Amino acid sequence: MVVRNRRNLTSVSTDRTAHTNPFVPGFGSTPPALVGREAEFADIEAMIGRVRQGIYEQPRLLVGERGLGKTALLIEVTVWARRQRLWQVDLQAAETGDLTPHLMRDLREHLLAHDRDARVVDLVRRALRVLSSFSVTYGVGVKLDLTKESGRADTGDLATDLGDVLIATCQAARSVGTALLVTVDEVQKMPGPQLEALLTAVQRVYKDRSDPRANLPFALIAAGLPDALDTIRHLGGTFGERVRVHELDMLSVPETIEALVIPARERSVRWDGDALDRLALRTGGWPVAVQQYGYDAWNAGTGSLIASTEVERALITAERALDRIYAGRLRDTTDRQRAYLQAMAGLPAAERTSAAVAKRLGSTSRAWGSTRDGLIRSGLIRPDGYGRAAFTLPGFEDFLHRS
């Protein structure tokens, strides 16, 4: 089943050209058919429905390897949230840079949109004054023609002041019958002190009892690589225990086929059945690979049937394109981790036990234990029963053999 299929095709063309290619290789785009994320989406929908009623809901964390569709799912959620008239802020974390200017700008937008509403003006005005205090305290440079709210967002402690801002904004959101949704993508990239301040501020929002019968209408969804949860547990105190984690899986074979067939069908293009099966298997259900293989197969010909020979060519070109992602992942590893991965790749899949890999490296599993753990934490390999480990990313092993 397809969660949503937003691409609105006004003119259906049977042309199969590079211009009409519906597939979207790379990261951070909206796929032509977002498949297989119904459970996660339904959970988030329910969470927001409850939050709006003042019921407490845990923050959500979407985790998964690169290319599993974390950003795509976040985009889907934010598009939906906008239609629900939620106040929403999408933060994109980076190693450098400060998220607060973006946060303040977006909160101000939502508040200003209600500033003329006579019924609610008090709490909205107050939230804007708290924002003013924050902007002055941190020199954020968000333009606000208001006096400051004294004693709010002016301590100089980021966690406290951010908490003041979020609480005041949520109170204003409640007064207009909506909720505040904050999403943070690539959360593992966020500098430690900032993440810590954000999590502490969010804890305060959860604890607020300005209305004794209800929680503030606030929802947080973060997304990141598999080790993001460790980072959050490490920094966030009890926050790490509260967060509900969704580990995104590879797409199943039927889902993969849907992701390939639906966009083609919308342009009156069909797949050769056997070739489609072969291609779907090769992607391993890894969404970024599904798009890449789909894209290359589309571009390998011009007929209304994506033929077997065309798929054969795509199997080669798409693999080369994915090499850049594999290489990027490899760059993130240490020398020892790379040695471990190569040793693993040198063994048949069924024999990749800690002992056998260590032996290949001329040592003991104990000596390589922390290297193996680090690779598991980072998501590149996963335990596979009986002391064995397996590669997580489809095609990664072939890449190691090639490189």
Question: If binding is defined by CB under 5 A, does position 256 make contact with Mg ion?
Answer: no
Binding flag, residue 283, ligand ADP (CB under 6 A): no
CB-closest chain residue to ligand ADP: 69
Q: Is 318 in the site for ligand ADP (CB under 6 A)?
A: no
- How far apart (Å, rounded) are the C-alpha atoms in residues 226 and 383? 14
Look at the alpha carbons of 158, 180, 36, 311 in this order and tell me if their dihedral is positive or negative: negative
Q: Considering the complex, what minimum distance in angstroms separates the CB of residue 202 from ligand ADP?
A: 22
The whole-angstrom distance between residue 285's C-alpha and the CA centroid of its chain comes to 17
CA-CA distances (angstroms) from residue 245 to 251, 301, 312?
Answer: 18, 42, 38
Work out whether 291 is an interface residue with Mg ion (CB under 5 A).
no
Piece of 49-57, 94-102, 264-272, 284-292 that binds ligand ADP (CB under 6 A): 284-292
Region of 62-70, 94-102, 130-138, 304-312 interacting with ligand ADP (CB under 6 A): 62-70
Q: Which stretch binds ligand ADP (CB under 6 A): 46-54, 61-69, 109-117, 194-202?
A: 61-69
Radius of gyration of the chain (CA): 24
Residue 35 binding target from ligand ADP, Mg ion, none, CB below 5 to 8 Å by type = ligand ADP
By CB under 6 A, residue 250 contacts ligand ADP: no
Least distance (Å) from ligand ADP to the CB of residue 335? 25
Handedness of CA 25, 31, 33, 36 (dihedral sign): positive
Confirm if 205 and 163 have CB atoms less than 8 A apart.
Answer: yes
Report the distance separating Cα 228 and Cα 278, nearest Å.
34
Place of tokens 């070739």: 275
Torsion of CA 322, 291, 394, 311, to 10 degrees: -90
Cα–Cα separations (whole angstroms), residue 61 to 14, 146, 304, 332: 41, 36, 41, 22
SS3 state of residue 33: coil
Shortest distance, CB of residue 232 to ligand ADP, whole angstroms?
17
Output DSSP code: residue 315: H
Q: Give whichever of 24 and 201 is closer to ligand ADP, judged by the CB atom.
A: 24
Residue 137 binds Mg ion (CB under 5 A): no
Q: Quick one: what does residue 228 bind among ligand ADP, Mg ion, none, with the CB cut-off 5 to 8 Å set by partner type?
A: none
> Considering the rule CB under 6 A, would residue 392 count as an interface residue with ligand ADP?
no
Kindly tell me which residue out of 31, 59, 284, 285 binds ligand ADP, with binding defined by CB under 6 A. 31
Query: Of 3, 83, 74, whose CA–CA distance to 37 is shortest?
Result: 3
**Residue 312: partners with Cβ closer than 8 Å, 6 or more residues away:** 275
Binding mask 63-102 for Mg ion (x = CB under 5 A): -------xx-------------------------------
| Site for ligand ADP, rule CB under 6 A | 24, 26-29, 31, 34-37, 64, 66-72, 259, 287-288, 290-291
| Site for Mg ion, rule CB under 5 A | 70-71
